[in-house]
Amino acid sequence: MAIELNRPALRHARALIRDGKVVRDERDDWSEAAPDADEENAFIDKAGWTEYSHWHLGVDRSENAQTKKAYTFPFGDFQRVHRSGVISGESRAGQYDHAEIRDALASLLALIDDGDR
């Protein structure tokens, strides 16, 4: 399992943040805000796997690209970036030594927090 940074997802997240499509919540809010399996399935049915992948900063290219197993480090609810998802992902990426993903999430957090100033 070689999880790497999903660059199209990073570009997507940055664009959403620049467009103000952000929920400025706290870390503990992610457990409630994260899409559940039914919401994920409905999104995939409507938008497809490529769009689904754009909501995850981690991708495992050894997995089938049309399975949820290929995508990790979600950061939003398919409409907006959640600050809580970014914080949660950054912590998890650091914990599992995914430095590039951790750093990308840290840059997203800075972009969100700079928008508050």
> Phi and psi of 61, rounded to 5°?
-70, -10
Identify the CA nearest to 81 among candidates 100, 57, 102: 57
User: How far is it, in rounded angstroms, from Cα 95 to Cα 22?
Assistant: 25
- Interval 12-51: pLDDT, tens: 999 999 999 999 998 889 999 999 999 999 999 999 999 9
The number of folded domains in the chain is: 1
Count of C-beta atoms within a 10 Å radius of residue 96:
14
Say yes or no to pLDDT of 115 above 80: no
- Interval 92-111: pLDDT, tens: 999 999 999 999 999 999 99
- The whole-model pTM stands at 0.94
- Interval 18-29: pLDDT, tens: 999 999 998 889
Q: Which domain covers residue 103, as residue numbers? A: 3-114
What is the residue whose two structure tokens read 């970036």? 81
